[in-house]
Amino acid sequence: MRKPRKAGEGSQRREEQPIPDTSPETPSQVSPYHLFSDADEVTRFRASLLSWYDQAKRDLPWRRRAAEEPDPDRRAYSVWVSEIMLQQTQVTTVIGYYTRWMQKWPALQDLAGASLEEVNQLWAGLGYYSRGRRLQEGAHKVVEELGGHIPRTADMLQKLLPGVGRYTAGAIASIAFGQVTGVVDGNVTRVLCRVRAIGADPGSPLVTQHLWSLAQQLVDPARPGDFNQAAMELGATVCTPRGPLCPECPVQGFCRSQKRVEKEQMVVSQRLLDSPEQKTLDVEECEPWRQDLGVTNFPRQPARKAPREQRAAVCVLQQLGSETSRFLLVQRPSSGLLAGLWEFPSVPAEDTESVQRRTLVKALRTWVGGPLALRSLRCLGEVIHVFSHIRQTYVVYNLTLEEQPQGLLPSGARWVTRAEFQAAAVPTAMKKVLRLFEGQPSRRGKASKSPQDPAGPGPGRQRHQLTLNAFFKPASTP
Ligand code: SF4
């Protein structure tokens, strides 16, 4: 019996992209080496995996709900929420968000009645914010157009619900409604590629089609939801990306990557050539083989595109009060990255410090509706936050106001206390910005004392590095 592993290891849900709708038939050009051609082998594989799952599965709140909830719509809703949250996010992170979400909106009708601001607020910190918005849009649609009933089949789920792709549709249909349909996520991809020694690019149309076909062939007709969860659980806890626990694996006896490793070891020790049979395998192409990687030669790692570099200047505009300070937040546009979330005012980065400062102060004046002193603007350092496809650098400034500005704030701007900031729909990057600001020494009512640059240092200068070093020190370090 294997030791239980920490919840959250190896979460591999991908945010769903449109996947070509491939036929469940086995592609004719795939070699039998990558198939389960024998019905008896399929039956034994299912039995091994399910019996392991029954003993070793992690106790997760969405699993409890799916098992205990008698109402099919409530059950499907709870699976739907968990599957959307798990896309690109570790299980350990999701547990708290899921629990809070289900306490606040235990049924689809509750979510349909919530505002987007409330959804963003609860989602803050989980990333990929469009997921929460899509969930809420889906809840509206079910309540207003589908009579409050979630579609019962994978095809209809994918067709009718926003943000529900092929994987999520299959997961909801099999777990909540018992539809016999296989699923393929990142974990299942890894398990299947290893079990059937598939070494070609798992993102290619041929391999994608083959994996869905295998998943459909393997799914247990009596327990489809459990089987799909078992395959994902195996990938998350045993057949992990870098350190698979092969001796503890319930399907080791079916695993062709294990056999490939043994064969490669024999080839090395006996200095034999590879068998011609495997050289011609169409979805294998696991070349060059790396001896040190063993079974983790499968699946092939796709070439990663480096994230795009982007820079912006952001200002923590603070208004001092007799009891508590307040910060200016502005709302992002309703579409695009971090849509509808609140952040400190920002402008795109400029080439020179002087232009940067003027641009930033001009934007701040627009927000607060009054004059602001350029020379009081201090540069604090840089914060880097990596989104899925963007490496965003924020050059962080601060401007502290002694008095309340006279002008009225336009819509989409508001002053918040620190406590309100923490509870607001604010992205993680802005929380990092606030932490950098709070790591600075108090400068109440004072401009920078730097003799070289009364306005403080500019982006990229040595001072920034010093500031950042200070920021990363433990709070107790003097
Ligand atoms: Fe993965 Fe190892 Fe199990 Fe094969 S034997 S499926 S590589 S954990």
Residue range 12-25, pLDDT digits in tens:
554 454 433 444 44
Q: Cα(246) to centroid of ligand 1, in Å?
A: 5
The mean pLDDT of 237-264, rounded to a whole number, is: 94
- Of the two residues 7 and 376, the one the predictor is more confident about is 376
pLDDT of amino acid 268: 72
Whether 360 contacts 374, CB under 8 Å: no
Nearest atom, ligand 1, residue 296 CA:
7
Residue nearest to atom 2 of ligand 1 (CA): 246
β-pair type (308-319, 390-401) = parallel
CA of 289 to the centre of ligand 1 (A): 17
The predicted structure's pLDDT at residue 286: 59
* Beta-carbon-side half-sphere exposure of residue 139 (alpha carbons within 13 Å): 25
Phi-psi region of 147 (alpha: psi -120 to 50; beta: other; left: phi over 0): left
Look at residue 441 in the predicted model and tell me its pLDDT.
55
The larger pLDDT score, comparing residue 442 to residue 353, is at 353
pLDDT of residue 430: 96
User: What are the tens digits of pLDDT across the range 128-178?
Assistant: 999 999 999 999 999 999 999 999 999 999 999 999 999 999 999 999 999
In this prediction, residue 89 has a pLDDT band, given cuts at 50, 70 and 90, of very high
pLDDT band for position 476 (cuts 50, 70, 90): very low
What spacing in Å lies between the alpha carbon of 190 and ligand 1's midpoint?
Answer: 9
Give the per-residue pLDDT at 169. Answer: 98
User: At 404, is the pLDDT very low, low, confident or very high (cuts 50, 70, 90)?
Assistant: confident
Query: Ligand 1: which residues within 6 Å by Cβ?
Result: 191, 194-195, 238-239, 244, 246, 249, 251-252, 255, 257-258, 295
Longest dimension (CA), the chain: 85
pLDDT 10s digits, 32-76: 888 897 899 999 999 999 999 999 999 999 999 999 999 999 999
Greater confidence (411 vs 240) lies with: 240
Q: Measured from the CA of 249, which atom of ligand 1 is nearest?
A: 3
Q: What was the pLDDT predicted at 17?
A: 44
Instruction: Tell me, in angstroms, the distance from the centre of ligand 1 to residue 48's CA.
Output: 13
For residue 195, the CA-to-ligand 1 centroid distance in Å is 7
Cβ atoms 312, 394 nearer than 8 A? yes
Nearest partner of 326 among 405, 397, 379, 380, judged by Cα: 405
d(CA 285, CA 22): 21
The top-scoring range by mean pLDDT among 27-31, 364-368, 395-399 is: 395-399
Q: What does pLDDT average to over the chain? A: 84
118 is catalytic: no
What pLDDT is attached to residue 24? 43
What pLDDT shows up at residue 289? 81
Catalytic choice (16, 83, 284, 353): 83
Distance between Cα 21 and ligand 1 center (Å): 28
In this prediction, residues 92-110 reach a mean pLDDT of: 97
Q: Which of 128, 50, 58 is nearest to 88 (CA)?
A: 128
- pLDDT for the residue 271: 57
Q: How many percent of the chain have pLDDT more than 70?
A: 82
Q: Residue 29: its pLDDT value, please?
A: 66
Query: Does residue 274 surpass a pLDDT of 70?
Result: no
Q: How far is CA 64 from CA 8, 57, 79, 99, in A?
A: 17, 11, 10, 12
pLDDT value for 28: 54
Split at pLDDT 50, 70, 90, the class of 415 is very high
Q: How far apart are CA 125 and CA 423, in angstroms?
A: 11
Name the pLDDT band for 6 (thresholds 50, 70, 90). very low
